[in-house]
Homo-oligomer: A and B are copies of this chain.
Amino acid sequence: MDLKPINLQEKLAKFSNHWSPKIIAQMNDYHFMLVKFQGDFVWHSHADTDEVFITLDGEMSIEFRVGKVDLKAGEMFVVPKGVEHKPFAEKECKIMLVEPGGTVNTGDAGGDMTAEDNVWI
């Protein structure tokens, strides 16, 4: 056991690309990831898992077919499994994601925005 805290700002400083989650911690079979959003992501859903978004810095929104939720720093939201959603952020926004290891960022949609899996920083 490494008795070193995981510092979120230090980890965020290690990457600059958007829409590409980086793993910073594992709890059982779940990953805690940091990601930077800017612009529009793709509509997608995750058939097998809920997904947690915690906004650390900036503002972002998650669009659903029935409306949208706006999240600023210090706010979180749980996207239920199977529910189509499209994250977007006008300006760069820093987020922590929590979901099972191996969850594909683009879910059922796939495509060019699918990030490399299992990248630790």
Contact = CB atoms under 8 A, between A and B. Distances in A.
Contact of A67 (B3, B24, B98): B3
A69 B5 contact: yes
A74 B9 contact: yes
One complex includes copies of this chain to the number of 2
B32 A83 contact: no
A27 B78 contact: yes
29 contacts: A1-B64, A1-B83, A3-B66, A3-B67, A3-B68, A5-B69, A5-B70, A5-B72, A5-B75, A5-B76, A6-B78, A7-B75, A8-B74, A8-B75, A8-B76, A9-B74, A25-B52, A25-B78, A26-B78, A27-B49, A27-B50, A27-B51, A27-B98, A27-B99, A28-B49, A28-B81, A28-B100, A32-B76, A98-B98
Interface of A: 1, 3-9, 24-28, 30, 32, 49-52, 64, 66-72, 74-78, 80-81, 83, 98-100
